[in-house]
Amino acid sequence: MNQTFNSQRFLLIIRLEIAEKGRTQLLMAAVLVGTLLLMMLPIMFNNEHNNTLRALHIIALIMLVLFGGSLYTNQVFGQFDSTNSTIAALMVPASRLEKFLSTLLLNLMFMIPFILLFVGLHYWTTEYANIHLITNEEKYELLPKSILYFMILMALVIQGAAFLGAIYFTKATYIKTAAAFFVLIVFGVTANHYLAKNMVPSPTYFSALPFAGWTMVFNKSGQFSNYTVDLPESIHYFVYALPIVVMLAFWYIAYVRMVEKEV
């Protein structure tokens, strides 16, 4: 098969992807969106401050936006899971790049609106709830924009990892992807903490996350002193750009894996 990219053929392969996977992926998307609405809308129907309802927004951010979408992404290369479907997929007259981009595009067409839906619902429902709280009730706090922005970037990194795992592993794809990603995160956090702690003189308490500031507490003759070391302003741009670079790297490795498998 000619491996040059052709825009007309690319549109045809997108139509084929929609025809073959559209119904299944739409049902999965409906479950995720429905669950998101069930977790985020109840805050609007209570005129008293309720920490549990606010916590549902945070749980939705972590469980659905960060990790729920990865389960959806993990199904994008399902046509290569069985012998019959793999043979049919290999016979499709399209280049690897066209197959790769069509699959990635359809996945992003759900993931990006899903993330934006969460952000929109969070601000809209929280502000609506604050307006309708009874007098003297404590107002709900919106999640800081910096936290939301970082979480959105992390959601895209996880999407990239799940996308790579979907083509890299052949069996128990989601479990192997999640395990590999978890081990990588634990190793990075542990190594960063170990190296950072060795740079300071034995604090009583020390906290250091990758690409974040340091928090130290020293105990001197019963007197506790707290110190915070923040990243320089210029480094913040690097921190915000790094997840995008990692995501693009995952996409590229996934494409290389497709070439290796001669898909």
Is the pLDDT at 86 greater than 80? The verdict is no
State the number of CA atoms in the 13 A half-sphere of 39 facing the CB. Answer: 20
Is the pLDDT at 240 greater than 90? The verdict is no
Q: For 1-59, how does the pLDDT look when each residue is reduced to its tens digit (9 = 90+)?
A: 566 777 888 888 888 888 877 888 888 889 999 999 999 999 999 888 888 998 999 99
Is the pLDDT at 257 greater than 90? The verdict is no
Is the pLDDT at 74 greater than 80? The verdict is yes
Report the b/e string of 164-186 with b at 16+ CB within 10 A: bbbbbbeeebbeebbeebeeeee
Is the pLDDT at 196 greater than 70? The verdict is yes
Which whole number is the average pLDDT over 228-240?
79
pLDDT for the residue 224? 73
CA distance 182 to 171: 18
**pLDDT category, 80, cuts 50, 70, 90?**
low
Report the b/e string of 213-229 with b at 16+ CB within 10 A: ebbbebeeeeeeeeeee
Helix (H) or strand (E) run with residue 173 in it: helix 173-197
Is the pLDDT at 213 greater than 90? The verdict is no
Is the pLDDT at 125 greater than 90? The verdict is yes
Helix (H) or strand (E) run with residue 154 in it: helix 145-168
Tell me the β-bridge partners of 93. none
CA distance 211 to 198: 17
Identity of the residue numbered 28: M
SS3 38: helix
**pLDDT category, 83, cuts 50, 70, 90?**
low
Q: Please provide the average confidence, as pLDDT, over all residues in the chain.
A: 83
